[in-house]
Structure 1
Amino acid sequence: MHSEYFISIVYSVMKLTLVLPVLVGVAAAVPITRELLALEGDLKTQYSSDFTRDIFVKGIHSHNDYWRDVPLYTALSHGVVSVEADVWHFDGDDAVYVGHHEAALTPARTFASLYIDPLVGILTQANPNNSFTAHDTAPNGVWDTDSGQTLYLFVDVKTDGNATWPYVIEALEPLRQKGWLTTFNGTAITSGPITVVGTGNTPYAFVKAQKTRDYFYDGPVTLLNDTEAYPATLNPIASASFLKTVGLEPNDIPASGLNKSQLASLTKVIDQAHELGIYTRFWEVPWWPVEKRNNLWRQLIEAGSDLLNADDIELAFEFY
């Protein structure tokens, strides 16, 4: 009897010995939410180019980007592939200012402070100089999820083009020194993290005359058939008024958008640009009523236009 009792105790102790580590393990386990909080900011989870991690690129153009509360960064946070800055230059001043009109200009809001300097900082982060990157053959762009994607930087010149453009070229020097600009060598384009596209009063004749350059011209979509005047090496992106391209006034377009014939004509213009290796952007898309705008945006995307021109990039981001 005593022998059976002793065996029972031993058996119970053996079971407890087997189960106890499991119980202790469960008790010692950390819930994943607590583990996540513990690891946030930990060096093991960070890397140099993670500034734009988890952001996926979308074919959106941030029209008048400088209007944002936080220019450039807001666009990048939405994966916007193209931004636009209106620039001004005045005699006796080396700075290039950014603003929609003269009353909006301030000494602090310059092309360098709002765009060039931030881009240098972002790209410096994305291109660490260490033993792991010693054999990299091309620089990374601003997006961690698509490091080969260029950011289009449209420079809309508001003052005299011939007088202003040399100062724009000078302002690009910090990016140029790092080899971060898309270039043309007289024959072909080599893509870089930033592709500068002059628009507005940018001097067409001057840009076209340069045998080598690291800036381009915003060609007219509807005149691309003249490939001598507007080759893809001059204008890798071309733009046009949407209304002028389709030959309509806003009130002529119903809420449902373009009819089949009008959409076919628009698609033909876009296809012709693509055949020449040129991307397209259309501005002056009616924005009201919402149903009309959304249908026109949808038709532009379906027709293959590459950049959705948007003043409200948060809205465009959700729509795209």
Structure 2
Amino acid sequence: MKFQLSAAAAVAALVSTASAIPIATQMLSLTGSIGTQYTSDITRNIFTKKIHSHNDYWRDIPLYTALSKGVTSVEADVWHYDGDDTLYVGHHTAALNAERTFSSLYIDPLVEILTANNPNNTFTASQTTPNGVFDTDSTATLYLFVDVKTNGTLTWPYVISALEPLRAKGWLSTYNGTAITSGPITVIGTGNTPYDFVFAQTERDYFYDGPILTLSNQTAYPPTLNPIASGDFMTAIGGTVEPTGLNSTQLATIIELIQTAHNYGIKTRFWDVPWWPVVTRDILWRQLINAGSDFLNADDLDLASTFY
């Protein structure tokens, strides 16, 4: 006797076959749908790395390129001119133009990113601390180094003013005279930033780039003033590097500087690490990482972001 499907079973089998759409087609139809996207999508699947984007403004797309690599520290050189409230960004005067400003390249994009990452709705109503720029690590702060190139005393008030959009939202790390409260953005003044002015402020939402070679003077350079300390790598080691990297004496010096900073609760960064030949640079980077330095100072973010 031949087995025959009932009419209902035949229809069910036909529907089942028709719904077996290849998964690639299903994924294509879902891409961009409300079920697969969310407000803080901008840094989804980006994992944070202890890298400092040296001269970040040199990149074709400043800030965003660094964030796309998971970089947690960026640097902008700023210039101020009399009679102008704008801070311009560039390595030297020939690189300046009216469109490349501190606000347009850094402040405004950060406000946009953090607004997306901190939606105001019923799901976030009970949230007491703001999210940072990285979706994978919402508590991570982004260090924003402001390298002042013009007169520091005259320029720094304009930096303070430029930070207002972030300040107004409560997105800056702050010092209340006793302790630091970490926020999504931690501003570090470097270059010609006026040390005396920053040190004198008992309440502030910006900090100072401490000199790693002289941190033992904790009266002048406490961690509440400079949560990060930087230094010229070549000066620290005495000026010459062999192709095989640091010798034992130089390495011991670097380790001591890092340990001293860490004992005070201060993070470390070394700049001017030789980049050529590449094999030597890679050895030096590895030595710095193994010595415990907190940030890898990098111009080549593609390489640095995969180096670890």
Q: How does the TM-score come out when normalised to structure 2?
A: 0.97
Equivalent position of 1:148 in the other structure:
139
Change (3 A) 1:258 1:15: farther
Alignment of 1:222-301 (within 5 A): 222-249=213-240, 253-301=241-289
Cα deviation code 1:93-144 (max 9, x no counterpart) = 1111101111111011110111000100000000000111111110000000
Q: Secondary structure at the match of 1:281?
A: strand
Q: Secondary structure at the match of 2:186?
A: strand
Q: Secondary structure at the match of 2:202?
A: coil
More deviation, 157-166/27-36: 27-36
Equivalent position of 1:302 in the other structure:
290
Equivalent position of 2:198 in the other structure:
207
| Number of positions where the alignment pairs a residue of Structure 1 with one of Structure 2 | 308
Q: How much does 1:314 deviate?
A: 1.3
Q: How much does 1:255 deviate?
A: 2.3
Q: How much does 1:222 deviate?
A: 1.2
Matched letter for residue 153 of structure 1: L
Alignment partner of 1:106 is 2:94: no
Equivalent position of 1:50 in the other structure:
41
More deviation, 24-33/100-109: 24-33
Cα deviation code 1:60-93 (max 9, x no counterpart) = 0000000000000000000000000000001111
Change (3 A) 1:256 1:22: farther
Alignment partner of 1:87 is 2:78: yes
What CA distance in whole angstroms lies between the structure 2 residues aligned with 1:274 and 1:116? 30
What CA distance in whole angstroms lies between the structure 2 residues aligned with 1:100 and 1:261? 34
The structure with the largest alpha-carbon Rg is 1
Matched letter for residue 107 of structure 2: I
Matched letter for residue 123 of structure 2: F
Q: How much does 1:50 deviate?
A: 1.1
What CA distance in whole angstroms lies between the structure 2 residues aligned with 1:256 and 1:48? 48
Q: How much does 1:26 deviate?
A: 3.9
Cα deviation code 1:174-201 (max 9, x no counterpart) = 0000000000000000000000000000
Q: 1:157 aligns with which of 148, 151, 154?
A: 148
What CA distance in whole angstroms lies between the structure 2 residues aligned with 1:160 and 1:265? 33
Cα deviation code 1:205-237 (max 9, x no counterpart) = 000000100000000011111100000000000
Q: Secondary structure at the match of 2:123?
A: helix
What CA distance in whole angstroms lies between the structure 2 residues aligned with 1:210 and 1:261? 39
Matched letter for residue 155 of structure 1: V
- Higher helix proportion, which one? 1
Structure 2 segments unaligned to the other structure (5+ residues): none
What CA distance in whole angstroms lies between the structure 2 residues aligned with 1:258 and 1:98? 35
What CA distance in whole angstroms lies between the structure 2 residues aligned with 1:271 and 1:136? 36
Alignment of 1:62-211 (within 5 A): 62-211=53-202
Q: How does the TM-score come out when normalised to structure 1?
A: 0.93
Q: Secondary structure at the match of 2:52?
A: strand
Identical counterparts, % of pairs: 65
Change (3 A) 1:131 1:20: closer
Q: 1:60 aligns with which of 46, 51, 56?
A: 51
What CA distance in whole angstroms lies between the structure 2 residues aligned with 1:97 and 1:319? 32
Q: Secondary structure at the match of 2:284?
A: helix
Q: How much does 1:153 deviate?
A: 0.2
Structure 1 segments unaligned to the other structure (5+ residues): 1-7
Q: How much does 1:16 deviate?
A: 10
| Structure 1 segments (4+ residues) deviating >4 Å | 14-24
Q: How much does 1:19 deviate?
A: 8.5
Computed over aligned residues only, the root mean square deviation of the Cα atoms, in angstroms, reads: 1.5
Matched letter for residue 34 of structure 1: T
